[in-house]
């Protein structure tokens, strides 16, 4: 696979299987697949570059315009793809990869693609994590769009789905669509949530905060140098 081009949801497409019908987001079976670590619609919010950089532009009119252009350029750079994790072959259900060693500080943004069935986590434009995910069904689809994380719950239990544990939940919509830990296995689906291998969900939970963006697409691709946001 050309390392310069990727599904927007991850470094490689996950192996795609036909789901045998909708199942509860919490109704996952246990799996023998071990996480692999290389030893390592509601509210779509546009990005304000000035807020991303945290800079206040002051000075004379000409200086202010130049400073604003510089701030915009810096903001764009934070959301430009600078690295894609070198993963060979499709990511299997239950597998995940994480490498944030020596990655400089930067904003967190995530992409999920429905066709690839893969999530990518970027920090300042560097892909630091990726995994195969579970998604919704035709009856309970995973929504498309750009969503900020509204709030987080580490030990979430879903009363809606029989008090099923959904650890490391990061909610994207007011009606309960979230990223959360799950047993990611072939043949299972959610009620619209994005199910993540639980150890991988814990990694994201530790670095992502309220307001960080999750972009959910359907069959989009991007390459090095492309804008994520």
Higher per-residue pLDDT: 103 or 33: 103
Whether 204 is covered by a domain: the verdict is: yes
By mean pLDDT, which of 2-6, 13-17, 56-60, 216-220 is the weakest? Answer: 13-17
Q: 124: domain range? A: 5-46+81-223
Give the model confidence (pLDDT) of 98-115 as tens digits.
Answer: 999 999 999 999 999 999
The CATH number of residue 30's host domain is: 2.40.440.10
Give the model confidence (pLDDT) of 198-214 as tens digits.
Answer: 999 999 999 999 999 99
pLDDT at 167: 95
Q: Total structural domains in the chain?
A: 1
pLDDT at 142: 96
Whether 56 is covered by a domain: the verdict is: no
Give the model confidence (pLDDT) of 83-93 as tens digits.
Answer: 999 999 899 99
Whether 10 is covered by a domain: the verdict is: yes
pLDDT at 164: 75
Instruction: Identify the band that residue 61 occupies on the pLDDT scale cut at 50, 70 and 90.
Output: low
Instruction: Identify the band that residue 68 occupies on the pLDDT scale cut at 50, 70 and 90.
Output: low
Whether 73 is covered by a domain: the verdict is: no
Chain-wide mean pLDDT for the chain?
A: 77
Strand partners, 221: 7
Whether 167 is covered by a domain: the verdict is: yes
pLDDT at 188: 77
pLDDT at 23: 33
Whether 112 is covered by a domain: the verdict is: yes
Higher per-residue pLDDT: 172 or 76: 172
Q: Is 185 helix (H, G, I), strand (E, B) or coil?
A: coil
Distance CA 220, CA 216 (A): 10
Determine the distance from the C-alpha atom of residue 161 to the mean position of all C-alpha atoms in its chain, rounded to a whole number. Answer: 23
Whether 183 is covered by a domain: the verdict is: yes
Distance CA 190, CA 24 (A): 6
Produce one character per residue of 49-81: b if its CB has 16 or more CB atoms within 10 Å, e if not. beebbeeeeeeeeeeeeeeeeebeeebeebbbb
Whether 68 is covered by a domain: the verdict is: no
By mean pLDDT, which of 69-73, 158-162, 192-196 is the weakest? Answer: 69-73
């Amino acid at each position: 696979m050309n390392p310069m081009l990727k599904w927007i949801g991850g470094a490689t497409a996950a192996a795609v299987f036909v789901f045998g019908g909708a199942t509860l987001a919490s109704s996952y079976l246990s799996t023998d697949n071990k996480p692999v670590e290389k030893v390592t619609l509601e509210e779509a919010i546009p990005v304000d570059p000035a807020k991303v950089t945290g800079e206040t532009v002051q000075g004379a009119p000409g200086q202010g315009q130049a400073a604003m252009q510089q701030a915009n350029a810096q903001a764009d750079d934070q959301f430009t793809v600078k690295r894609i994790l070198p993963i060979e072959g499709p990511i299997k259900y239950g597998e995940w990869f994480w490498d944030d060693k020596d990655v400089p500080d930067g904003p967190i943004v995530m992409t999920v693609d429905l066709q690839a069935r893969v999530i990518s986590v970027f920090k300042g434009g560097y892909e630091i994590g990726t995994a195969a995910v579970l998604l919704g069904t035709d009856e309970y689809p995973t929504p498309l769009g750009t969503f900020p994380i509204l709030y987080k719950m580490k030990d979430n239990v879903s009363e809606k789905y029989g008090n099923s544990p959904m650890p490391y939940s990061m909610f994207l919509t007011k009606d309960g669509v979230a990223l959360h830990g799950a047993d990611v296995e072939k043949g299972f689906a959610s009620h619209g949530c994005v199910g993540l291998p639980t150890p991988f969900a814990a990694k994201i939970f530790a670095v992502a905060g309220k307001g960080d963006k999750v972009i959910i697409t359907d069959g989009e691709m991007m390459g090095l140098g492309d804008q994520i946001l």
